[in-house]
Amino acid sequence: MSQQPTRKKALILGAGVTGISCTRYLLAQGFDVTVADSRNHPPGTAELEALLPTNHLEFGVSLDQVSLTGVDSLVVSPGLPRTLGLLDRARALGIEAVCDVEIFLRQAKAPVIAVTGTNGKSTLVMMIAHLLRAAGVNALAGGNLGPAALDLLAEPTPDYYLLELSSFQLEWLQEPAPAVAVITNITPDHLDRYDSFADYRAAKARVLGGAQRVVLNLDDRESRKLAMTLPVSTPVDWFGASASEPDATLIDLKDIPSVNGLMGEHNRINAQAALTVVSGLGLTAQLPANYWNGFEGLPHRLQLVATINGVRWLNDSKATNVGATLAAAEGLAADEKSRLVLVLGGEGKGQDFAPLRQLVPRLRAVVVTGHDGSRIAKLLTEWVPVKRAVDMNQVVDMAAALAQPGDTVLFSPACASQDQYRDYQHRGDCFVAAVKALAPKVDE
C-alpha cells in the first residue's frame, strides 16, 4: 500500500476575519492548517472551530512561543507587530512570513486598483467599484473594508480587483505593482504603532511600488512630496479642490453631480477621485448620464440619523482620527452655515488633538467622552463650552441640551473606539440607538 504524500503545513497567526479567510484559502490549496492567537476566544472562534480540529487551534498562547516545527508557510495578520520574536525564528529557519494580501497579489489574474490613505479610502473604493460597474466593467472590491482579499479569489475572475489597503497591510507587501495606485490623503494616525509620522507615511507610500499609474490628491502636501519620488515614466493623475497646479488636469468639481446620500465637500472630492481613476482607465465614455444612480454611502460616515426639534443628528463614527473629523466638519461648512455640537473622544492613538481648535468658530459646544476625552476637553475648554459624558446615552442627552434649532450634532470622535466598544460600527450603532430613543416623535 503506497504512502500518502505529506501535506504542506501552514501556520496562521491571528484569527478574526483575515484568519478565517486565510484558513479557507489554504485548506482549499491542500495545506495542513494551524491557527494561533494570543486571545483565549478571538473573533471568528466559532467559524474556525467548524473548519479545523481542536488541536489545530492554539488560542490563549504567547505567539513568540508557538512551534515552527514542520511549518512550510507562515501567514501573519497585518495587525500584529513586525517585532514578534517568532518572525526572527522563522527567518532563521528560512520560512517566509507573508500576509494575506501578498498571497492575493501573487495569485490574482486580473489588474488590481489599490487604494490607501488616512481617510476616505473605503468610500472611494466603493465609488470606483460603482462607476466601473456602471461602465459595464466587472469589478470585485475588498481588502481592508471586507471581504478579505483571499475571499475574492473564490469568485470568477473579474476585469478589475479593487483593494482597500491599510498601512498595516502595506507594511507586509514587497512590491504591490498595482495597475493603479491611489492615495486619498496622508495625515497623522496610528502613532501608537509607528515611531514617527514619517514611518507611517512610508508605510502608506509602499502602495506606489511598481504602480503602472498613480492617482494622488493635489491638496495633500504629503502626496505632492511622494509624487516627486516616482519614476519619471509613471503617469500621475491628480484630484482635489485646488486648481493652481499648471501641470495638473483636474476634473472640475462643479461638473460632478451630487452623490446620493453623501454630504460634505470631502465626499465631492472622493467622487472626483473616483472619476479620475475611471478616466485614467479610458472608461469615461462608457458611463451613463446618471452614473451615480443606485450608489449608497457606507454606514457611519456622515450618516443622517434624524432631525429632532430642528436639530440634525449625524453619525460619523468612522472618523477615528483628527483628520477625518476635520474633513467632516469642514465639508459640512461648505454646505451650510449651521453651528455644530461636536462629539469627540475615545482612544486617541497618540495623536495631537491641537488641529481641532481650527473648528472653534463653527462650534456651539463640544461633548467629550472615552479614554482621551479629558485631553480633548483641556484643549478646547477656554474656547467653547465643553461637557463630559460617561456613556452614549449621556452623550446624546448632553448634546440635545446644548443644541439649538438649526444646529447639527456631529458625532465624529477623532478617536478609535476600542476603549469602550468592539469597533467603530458598534460605537456608531450605540449612537444611533441613543438618538432614536431621544424623542418619540422625529420630524424628518
The answer to whether residue 41 is catalytic is no
Domain limits, CATH 3.40.1190.10, in the chain: 102-286
Neighbouring C-alpha atoms within 13 Å toward the C-beta of 406: 7
Domain limits, CATH 3.90.190.20, in the chain: 303-436
What does each of the 444 residues of the chain score in pLDDT, given as a tens digit? 444 557 899 999 999 999 999 999 999 999 999 999 999 999 999 999 999 999 999 999 999 999 999 999 999 999 898 889 999 999 999 999 999 999 999 999 999 999 999 988 999 999 999 999 999 999 999 999 889 999 999 999 999 999 999 999 999 999 999 999 999 999 988 888 888 999 999 999 999 999 999 999 999 999 999 999 999 999 999 999 865 555 556 888 877 877 766 777 888 899 999 999 999 999 999 999 889 988 877 788 888 899 999 999 999 999 999 999 998 898 786 555 679 999 999 999 999 999 999 999 999 999 999 999 999 999 999 999 999 999 999 999 999 999 999 999 999 999 999 999 999 999 999 999 999 998 654 444
Q: In the CATH hierarchy, which top-level class contains the domain 9-98?
A: alpha beta
Q: Identify the pLDDT of residue 442.
A: 44
* Phi/psi of residue 6, nearest 5 degrees: -70, 130
The answer to whether residue 55 is catalytic is no
Q: What is the dihedral of CA 265, 268, 273, 275, to 10 degrees?
A: -170
Name the catalytic one among 190, 266, 349, 387: 190
CA–CA separation, 310 vs 408, rounded Å? 9
Name the catalytic one among 119, 130, 144, 321: 144
Q: Which residue has the cell 492615495?
A: 183
The superfamily CATH assigns to domain 303-436 is Mur ligase, C-terminal domain (3.90.190.20)
| Multiple choice CATH, 102-286, 3.30.70.870, 3.30.70.100, 3.40.1190.10, 3.30.1300.10 | 3.40.1190.10
Q: Secondary structure of the chain in the HEC alphabet?
A: CCCCCCCCEEEEECCHHHHHHHHHHHHHCCCEEEEEECCCCCCCHHHHHHHCCHHHEEECCCHHHCCCCCCCEEEECCCCCCCCHHHHHHHHCCCCEECHHHHHHHHCCCCEEEEECCCCHHHHHHHHHHHHHHCCCCEEEEECCCCCHHHHCCCCCCCEEEEECCHHHHHCCCCCCCCEEEECCCCCCCCCCCCCHHHHHHHHHHHHCCCCCEEEECCCHHHHHHHCCCCCCCCEEEECCCCCCCCCCCCCHHHCCCCCCCCCHHHHHHHHHHHHHHHHCCCHHHCCCCCCCCCCCCCCCCEEEEEECCEEEEECCCCCCHHHHHHHHHHHHHHCCCCEEEEECCECCCCCCHHHHHHHHHEEEEEECCCCHHHHHHHHCCCCCEEECCCHHHHHHHHHHHCCCCCEEEECCCCECCCCCCCHHHHHHHHHHHHHCCCCCCCC
The answer to whether residue 144 is catalytic is yes
pTM above 0.85, yes or no: no
Q: Say which amino acid occupies 335.
A: D
Q: Say which amino acid occupies 146.
A: G
Q: Which residue has the cell 509602499?
A: 206
Q: Express as a percent the part of the chain with pLDDT over 70.
A: 94
The residue among 117, 92, 89 whose CA lies nearest residue 13 is 89
Neighbouring C-alpha atoms within 13 Å toward the C-beta of 412: 29
The residue among 390, 392, 404 whose CA lies nearest residue 433 is 392
pLDDT digits over 132-145, tens only?
A: 999 999 999 999 98
Name the catalytic one among 121, 204, 300, 387: 121
